[in-house]
Chain A
Amino acid sequence: MKLTLNIWRQKDKNSKGQFENYNLNEVSPDMSFLEMLDVLNEDLLHKGDEPVAFDHDCREGICGACSMTINGRPHGPEKQTTTCQLHMRKFNDGETITIEPFRAKPFPVIRDLIVDRTSFDRIQQAGGFVSVNTGSSPDSNAVPIAKVAADKAFDAAACIGCGACVAACPNGAAMLFTSAKIGQFALLPQGQPERKERVIAMVKQMDSEGFGACTNHYECEAACPKGISVEFIAMMNRDFMKASFSR
């Protein structure tokens, strides 16, 4: 496959970035998107140019590191797939692919395609945990939890914190991430004692990071590599209002 890549290059947080064009002539359709970028970087290194900086870690779709916007979609065109699990066979020979970093004020670009997502860590640290040590895992069925609740909590817990929801949202809102991190506890007995404090504290942190407000476009749900439902945003709204009025 021959490809033209239009990639955002930016030296550091304070520099102004711009797009650069690169041509690749021997891309295998079986390569993953990141392997294709590795090939590009080897080419650049041989030529003595700076390689393109991008985030990656597990390369098996579970860590959420590989943040980039491919042709206007975070993680690219494939549904419920991270960039590392996207294969070049999904693109056409001769195609031009535009690769940009995730764009949001709370996700400043550090270099090229790498953004600083520590704002997510701070939201998580504001209350995305259970304060008491619950010890080793309890005997199965010792704490009765309805199957429906357990499944739903697990759906929320599938969030890998990649930030695609923010990147896809026309408003740069982080409500899908925050609601998933709240929702995974709100449905389980372990999450109940701190339920109100948690939702208030995490929404407060989300707002103070400078994320936008949800206007229900549902682009986040479409971009989420784990297919997390906007249902959790509605649940967070409900919990937040209840907690605000009962403080």
Chain B
Amino acid sequence: MSSYNPFNSTIFNKVIMAGTGVILVLFVIGHMVGNLQVFLGADVFNTYAHFLKSTGELLWIMRLVLLLCVVLHVYTSLKLKFLNMKARPEGYSVTSYVKSTLYSRTMIYSGIVIFLFVVYHLLHFTAFVTNPEYADYSENYGPVLQSSGMIDHSGNIIQVTEGEGIFDRHDAYKMVITGFNKPIVAIVYILAVLFLALHLSHAIQSMFQTLGWSGPKTTPRLMLVSKLIGWGLFVGFASIPVSVLIFGLGKGVIG
């Protein structure tokens, strides 16, 4: 038994898939809720974007955790896929499935599509590599009161600076509206979230099963929840490019 490491087992690899999946799903839900603020107008949306960027180290910790999850999730999935392919070297000439679905059997492909999309999405809206002009979109906001102070060791306020003024921040709203006004970009985003919906429709229930929560009553409910979250995310995310492209959301900001 000494040579066996349970952390190399198929089960532990499945647990890595599920554990990283939980974090990524929670992020994606939060990301969608944040994005939906675009419907509340430029000011709300830019305030939210500015807040995210101003979190400093916290933002980078978040980014590193997500990066680690993505790397582990992709690496482990490929490892398991090759293992599973080796477990059946000679396939059936006739297949007939009962409980599995097309999307449960194509997780690896929907996963690859989502991964490629995430790379593009980061180059597009985060690093501005595909559209360097986005970096120059800025807007003035204010007047707002900004104050800062220092206290000494006995708790007395010793220095207060207060000022009211007009400040400058990145115009994320204009960036999103401009981006989705290109039909091809909007279509890529809509298709990507469609694949995300298919992936998560199987994945969320699967995470619970792998992590040990299952039962004759529980599993059908979790399957329903899985589909609701998957398609809910599709509607939420896709509503933004659809609104921009078809219903002219934010038309005023682009000249």
Contact = CB atoms under 8 A, between A and B. Distances in A.
Interface stretch (B3-11, B43-51, B175-183, B235-243): B3-11
A216 B216 contact: no
A65 interface: no
A215 interface: yes
A206 B219 CA distance: 25
A179 B80 CA distance: 19
Contacts of A235: 212, 214
Interface of A: 19, 69, 71-73, 77, 98, 100, 103-106, 168, 170-173, 175, 200-201, 203-204, 206-207, 210-219, 221-223, 229-231, 233-238, 240-241, 243-244, 247
Given A172-B87, A204-B9, A100 B92 contact: yes
A235 to B, nearest CB: 7
B210 A219 contact: no
Nearest to B89: A105
B224 to A, nearest CB: 15
Contacts of A233: 209, 214
B98 interface: yes
Interface residues of B, number: 44
Interface of B: 1, 4, 6-7, 9-15, 80, 83-84, 86-100, 104-105, 107, 202, 205-206, 209-216, 219
B100 A212 contact: no
B100 A219 contact: yes
Contacts of B97: 72, 170, 217, 219
B214 A240 contact: no
A219 B92 CA distance: 15
A233 B11 CA distance: 10
Given A19-B93, A212-B88, A237 B15 contact: yes
Max chain A Cβ within 10 angstroms of own Cβ: one of B87, B100, B210, B215 = B87
Contact of B11 (A77, A100, A210, A241): A241
Those 4 A-B pairs whose CB atoms lie nearest each other, nearest first: A72-B96, A238-B212, A172-B87, A212-B87
Contacts of B86: 105, 210, 212
Contacts of A103: 88, 90-92
A217 B4 contact: no
Contacts of B84: 170-173, 212-213, 215
Given A214-B14, A219-B97, 19 more contacts: A71-B94, A72-B94, A98-B94, A100-B92, A170-B100, A170-B105, A171-B84, A173-B84, A173-B87, A207-B10, A214-B10, A216-B104, A216-B206, A219-B100, A233-B214, A234-B214, A237-B212, A240-B9, A247-B6
